Amino acid sequence: MKMDLVICGVGGQGNLLASVAIANYAMRKGLNVIGTETIGAAQRGGSVVSHLRISEEKIYSPTVPAGAADVILGFELVEALRHIDRLNPGGCYIVNSETVPTVLGNMGLDRYPPEGEILRELRLRSAKGYLINASEKARELGGAIMTNIVLLGALSRVLPFFEQEDLAAVLAELLPAKVLAVNLQALKAGYDLVA
Amino acid sequence: MKASYVMGNKAIAAGALEAGVSFVTGYPGTPATEIVEECLHGEDVYVEWSVNEKVALEMATGASLCNLRSLAVMKHNGTNFAADFIMHLNFTGVCGGLVLVSADDPGGNSSQNEEDTRILLHTYGHLPVFDPATPAEAKEMIKEAFELSEEMGSCYILRPVMRICHSRSVIQLSAQKKLQRVPQFVDDRSRFVMSAVSEPRAGGKMRPLWRHALLNQKQADFSRYAEESVFNSIEDGVGPIGFVGCGIGYSYIKEAETVLRRKFPVLKLGTLPLPRQKVLTFLRGLEKVVVFEEIEPVVAGLLRGICSDEGLTVKILGRDQFLPGEGELTTEEVIAAAARLGLVERPAAVKPAAVEAPVRTRTQCIGCSHRGLLSALKQVSRKNKAIVTGDIGCYDAGSFPPIELQSTIFCMGSSIPVASGIAKTGIDRPVVAVIGDSTFFHNGLLGLVGAVSNQSRITVVLCDNRTTAMTGFQPHPGSGENIFQETVPALSPEKIGQALGVKTRIINPYLLEESKTILDQAIREEGVSLVISRAPCYLLSTRRGGQPYFARREVRMVPERCNGCKICINDLGCPALYYMEDENRVAVDLKSCVHCGLCADLCRRGAIITV
Ligand code: SF4
Ligand code: SF4
């Protein structure tokens, strides 16, 4: 068992919590896990990327080499594009279809590529890709803040390694009790979003 | 003992607490900040955000002189700032265990520069350095560093790189050790009075010379420890080419071995000075070795010295040749090096994406008080052809598009002296320095003192938002609270200005026209003028449940009035404004707009109105 993940998004989207949940899940399964995050100026809408490495064997480097990731979990389209070169050809990507425009793009000083162009690039890397509207689903359930949990749910559908019960138990440890129930709903909703 | 998945910085703090640290100081700076904050989990530990890194190390030394175990934490820029003190501390030595954590940021992901503080601390300062390969090792090293510091009477260094500080792994956390030491101060002037006097204890030699000789003698003790240290080890492997892994470089070598399913001869190094005998044992019989270290070829140079002393002909390849001279190492870099040496097949290159991902430049938050100030200052500077120097903090994004106001950014506090220097040339343009409050107290204040006493003609604009926002809202001397969130007296920048005899004005940056008028007056004035732009950090105050500092004004677009001039974008740059190319007009994203009303004040065509 070995799994390298790259979890990428924009500051404030909650991808750090997703990576901590996956790490705790791996620990629960008795596996080794190492991660690292590159934050930049996350508070102000910068890119945030976490690398997460899970293995039965000893892991040394916290970073996932280019072309080595088994999973790209993208919280945002351009961020998925930015890190898609990490994906190995047999790996899969699960990407939130919501876009967060860049400041310079908004101002007409830079170009946010059209969705079609980004998707074409993603598809070139792997045939196993899932584009889901996790943010919309999260808002339906009560808040965009749960986008990360919806994406986790989708991940657990794509990769049988993630078992619902244990994932729920991990979330129960990480989240305040009063929001647990709705987050478990979000997890289920994410699972159902993947056809 | 409890196993937890935690950040490297927490592992380092936990190590310090397990070693019995009871005095912790630092100045915030990525990637080191959380080490200080994590120490708040210790009981009966004094923790402070010091005014700057030099002061932090001096404070920690004071505690060490009273026999407490103390820790000073900083990033590489701060270590530079503390260099003068370090070059005396190395001569005097310490009493209670003193460890300096100097965190480097290879790749400069969160810094103005990148550098390798092993050079300053070891090559120059001759202090012993631990360079961890993993967070777990960093934790063990800092514990060892406290023991050794006390045993050898010397300050020890832990130099983690960003990938140690900001990685997460499973760490065994143990209980805090409480040494329960009663502070005591024992006079030892020949040690702790550094001065050019003759030293009777050394037969009348000058004291600096004598202390230097003692530091040189200590190197033998440091080396003896290095020879036995568990942090240095040799791993057998096949072939005449060896790999040396210093700190995190070792982790990348091991990862490459796993990927390649190969075992190279490996020398793992975690200390400076080097374990000379171990190094020789490793080098003998090899033809070439490649040294993986971050960032500079420090160990590569030392290995070449050993080879030359011992008449070995091993070729040493490192970051001055063969490997890239800048940035972080990676597993890919190790594999590529092995391929260049003919040890393995060259791996197929991973193609970068053909579509470019647009950058996410740093800007201020929507609602930030700096935005109004930068806009007002941009307009006034344009009119007066002012030169604007910058400093470090959230406002520094004003030097990026679309604002492009500040023309310089160097290191903490340099905006004021650089501005002063420009003005003193007699150049016929006004000069303005923009500096934040935390940076002002860090050492900008001294620049202001110098500008006043040397009668420069500059305007200092102080962005006073009452916190160190950029690194995550640490308090500073103007905040009125300390790291424990206890109320303490807040230093008043306007009183400082008045005491210095500087004409001081205060503006509310959310009031654009008024701010422009006052900035314009200040810029035209003779001598040094100070403008304090005062409004608390928007993000911090709203996070804490407070009201914004501006009166909320509902904004609305009147699309037919917008002619696409983009003045609102170029002179304000609020991320809630966006330009629609096909319609050649600007719109407000009402989902993210917080209704500060600044854009409405700026738009002269009445295309953005408040209702
Ligand atoms: S954190 Fe505070 S000071 Fe920094 S950009 Fe945001 S609102 Fe402005
Ligand atoms: S009112 Fe204008 S400047 Fe203020 S947050 Fe909204 S769009 Fe930005």
Cβ proximity of B344 and B537 under 8 Å: no
Tens digits of residue pLDDT in B120-175? 999 999 999 999 999 999 999 999 999 999 999 999 999 999 999 999 999 999 99
Encoded tokens for A174: 């990480």
What are the boundaries of each domain within chain A? 2-193
Predicted confidence at residue B579, as pLDDT, reads 92
Does ipTM surpass 0.85 in this model? Answer: yes
Give the binding-site residues of ligand 2, using a 6 Å CB cut-off.
B 366-367, 555, 574, 576-577, 588, 593-599
B242, B217: one domain: no
Query: In this complex, do B254 and A121 lie within 8 Å of one another by their Cβ atoms?
Result: no
| pLDDT in the model for residue A40 | 64
Neighbouring-strand partners of residue B506: B532
CA distance A186 to chain B (A): 23
B347 belongs to a structural domain? no
| Domain finish residue from B485, B518, B543 | B543
Query: Mapping DSSP to helix (H, G, I), strand (E, B) and coil, where does residue B170 land?
Result: strand
Name all contacts of B300-309 with Cβ < 8 Å and 24+ positions apart. Answer: B302/B274, B303/B244, B303/B274, B303/B279, B306/B274, B306/B276, B306/B279, B306/B280, B307/B283
**What is the structure's pLDDT at A45?**
74
H/E segment holding residue B301: helix B298-310
| pLDDT tens digits, one per residue of B240-285 | 999 999 999 999 999 999 999 999 999 999 999 999 999 999 999 9
User: Mind listing the pLDDT tens digit for each residue in A111-146?
Assistant: 999 999 999 999 999 999 999 999 999 999 999 999
Give the total number of structural domains in chain B: 4
In a domain, B360, yes or no: no
Mean pLDDT of A79-95: 96
Looking at the predicted structure, is the pLDDT value of residue A41 above 60?
no
- At A109, the pLDDT band (50, 70, 90 cuts) reads confident
**Angle, helices B135-152/B8-18, rounded to nearest 10 degrees:** 30
3-state secondary structure of B142: helix
Instruction: Give me the residue from A10, A19, A61 closest to B252, CB to CB.
Output: A61
Q: Which of B489, B518, B543 is the last residue of a domain?
A: B543
For residue B608, the surrounding DSSP H or E stretch is: strand B608-610
Distance between CA atoms of residues B80 and B248, nearest Å? 22
User: Measured in angstroms, how far is the CA atom of residue B30 from the centroid of ligand 1?
Assistant: 16
Q: Which of residues 14-53 of A touch B (CB under 8 A)?
A: 19-20, 23-24, 27, 32-41, 43-47
B36 part of a folded domain: yes
Chain A positions in Cβ-Cβ contact with residue B30 (cut-off 8 Å): 39
Q: How many angstroms does the Cα of residue A143 sit away from the middle of ligand 2?
A: 23
Q: What is the mean pLDDT of chain A?
A: 93
How many angstroms separate the CA of residue B166 from the nearest CA in chain A? Answer: 6
Distance from Cα B589 to the centre of ligand 2, integer Å: 9
B222 and B260: one domain? Answer: no
The CATH number given to whatever domain includes residue B374 is 3.40.50.970
- Specify which residues B464 forms β-bridges with: B534
Q: Which domain holds residue B580?
A: 555-610
| B86 Cβ closer than 6 Å to some ligand 1 atom | no
Answer yes or no: is B379 within a domain: yes
User: Which one is predicted more confidently, A108 or B526?
Assistant: B526
Both B165 and B255 in one domain: the answer is: no
Q: Do B430 and B391 reside in the same domain of the chain? A: yes
Residues B168 and B71 occupy one common structural domain: yes
Contact B467 CB / ligand 1 (< 6 Å): no
Using DSSP, state whether B327 is helix, strand or coil: coil
The answer to whether the beta carbons of residues A191 and A154 sit under 8 Å apart is: yes
Specify the pTM.
0.96
Q: Which of B10, B168, B541 to mutate to test the interface with A (most CBs of A within 10 A)?
A: B168
**Which pLDDT score, from 0 to 100, does residue A44 have?**
65
B124 and B155 both lie in a single domain: yes
Please indicate, yes or no, whether residues B221 and B237 belong to a single structural domain of this protein: no
Of B495, B510, B543, the position where a domain reaches its end is B543
> DSSP per residue over B50-93, as a string?
-SSHHHHHHHHHHHHHTT--EEEEEEHHHHHHTHHHHHHHHHH-
Say which ligand is closest to the CA of B469. Answer: 1
The C-alpha of B165 sits at a distance from chain A's nearest C-alpha, in angstroms, of 9
Q: Is B596 in the pocket of ligand 1 (CB under 6 A)?
A: no
Instruction: Give the other-Cβ count within 10 Å of B362's Cβ.
Output: 18
B66 and B164 part of one domain: yes
Contacts of A118 in chain B (CB under 8 A): 355
Closest ligand 2 atom to B589 CA:
7
Smallest Cβ–Cβ distance between A106 and the set B259, B350, B578 belongs to B578
Are A123 and A175 in contact, with CB atoms under 8 Å apart?
A: no
For B331-407, where are the E strands, in sequence order?
387-390
Which of the 8 DSSP states describes residue B109? T
Q: Is B420 in the pocket of ligand 1 (CB under 6 A)?
A: no
Q: Where are the alpha helices (DSSP H) in chain A?
A: 15-28, 77-83, 103-106, 115-125, 134-141, 147-158, 164-174, 177-193
Matching residue, tokens 């500080």: B165
pLDDT of residue A42: 47
> Which residues of chain B have a pLDDT value below 70?
none
Tell me the shortest Cα–Cα distance from B453 to chain A, in angstroms. Answer: 37
My answer on whether B334 and B377 are in the same domain is no
B86 neighbors B121 (Cβ within 8 angstroms)? yes
Which one of B332, B365, B401 has the shortest CB-CB distance to A104?
B401
Domain membership of residue B188 (yes or no) is no
B269 and B329, same domain (yes or no): yes
Distance from the A114 Cα atom to the nearest Cα atom in chain B, whole angstroms: 10
Closest residue on chain B to A80 (Cα): B357
**Which residue reads 């970051």 in tokens?**
B319
Percent of chain B with pLDDT over 90: 95
Is residue A12 very low, low, confident or very high in pLDDT (cuts 50, 70, 90)?
confident
Give the C-alpha separation, A140 to B196, whole Å. 74
pLDDT value of position B350: 87
B203 and B245 together in one domain: no
Contacting A residues, span 82-101, partner chain B, CB-CB under 8 Å: 82, 84-85, 101
Instruction: Answer yes or no: is B356 within a domain.
Output: no
| The CA-based dihedral angle spanning residues A56, A59, A65, A68, taken in that order and rounded to the nearest 10 degrees | -10
* A123: nearest CA partner in chain B: B353
Q: Using CA positions, which residue lies closest to atom 6 of ligand 1?
A: B365
Residues B283 and B327 in one domain: yes
Tell me the CA–centroid distance for residue B517 and ligand 1, in Å.
24
% residues pLDDT > 90 (chain A): 85
CATH number (3.20.20.10, 3.40.50.300, 3.40.920.10, 3.30.450.190) of A2-193 reads: 3.40.920.10
Check CB contact under 8 Å for A67 and B350: yes
The residue to which tokens 């903490």 are assigned: B412
Distance CA B295, CA B105 (A): 9
Q: Which ligand is nearest to the CA of B550?
A: 2
Our measurement of the distance from residue B562's CA atom to the centroid of its chain's CA atoms, rounded to an integer in Å, reads: 43
Q: With a 6 A CB cut-off, is B574 part of the ligand 1 pocket?
A: no
pLDDT of residue B205: 96
| B354 interaction partners in chain A (CB closer than 8 Å) | 121
Confidence (pLDDT) at B419: 98
Residue of B nearest to A21 (CA): B5
